[in-house]
Amino acid sequence: MSNPASPPPVSRQEAMRALLAGIAADMQAYAGLAALLEEQFDAALRHQGPRLGDIAEKITGMVAEADARRIQRVALAQHLNGPNGTMAQAFALLKPAAREKMEADWLALEALVIECKRLSKRNADLLVEQHGIMQRVLHGEEHIYEPI
């Protein structure tokens, strides 16, 4: 039984090209995601519900596409290096100059992913805090005048 996420059989050269193209696409996508997360933060600060919904849809789509590329990347690394193939093993197949560039791009992508996670957490924290404030405003606080 074949894995539905695995790419159709391709040559090693085509697999490497697809792997490198996926990393480049992810670098662009994560830069765009970071910009969307900044927009989301701004919309949350301004309590712009409809705008938040639009941005959330875009973020969801971008994350789904990035996850599909991740699945393809794993399959391509395995195609190049066997069932336990890793990105490091795939990069080792490149000539030194190309390997150094791809390793640098991989580290840059990792930094973008970490930044997007940070921005996402910041936004979630803001939205949770705003929700808590609205709940207190609408329903009052239970223990404001609790006797000592």
User: Domain range spanning residue 41?
Assistant: 12-139
Domain count along the chain: 1
Q: Tell me the average pLDDT of the chain.
A: 89
Does residue 6 belong to any structural domain of this protein?
Answer: no
pLDDT band at 1 (very low <50, low <70, confident <90, very high): very low
Q: What CATH code is carried by the domain that includes residue 126?
A: 1.20.58
With respect to residue 4, please indicate whether it lies within any of the assigned structural domains. Answer: no
In this predicted structure, the answer to whether residue 6 has a pLDDT above a threshold of 60 is: no
Segment 67-102, tens digit of pLDDT: 999 999 999 999 999 999 999 999 999 999 999 999
> Is 7 domain-assigned?
no
Query: Is 2 inside any structural domain?
Result: no
Alpha carbons 10 and 58: distance in angstroms, whole number: 32
pLDDT band at 5 (very low <50, low <70, confident <90, very high): low
Domain presence at residue 27: yes
The torsion angle over the Cα atoms of residues 111, 117, 119 and 124, rounded to 10 degrees, is 180
Residue 148 has pLDDT above 70, yes or no: no
Q: How confident is the model at residue 3, as a pLDDT?
A: 45
- Residue 42 in any domain: the answer is yes
In a domain, 5, yes or no: no
Does residue 119 belong to any structural domain of this protein? Answer: yes
Give me the pLDDT at residue 8, please. 56
**Cβ proximity of 67 and 113 under 8 Å:** no
Confidence band for 132, pLDDT divided at 50, 70 and 90: confident
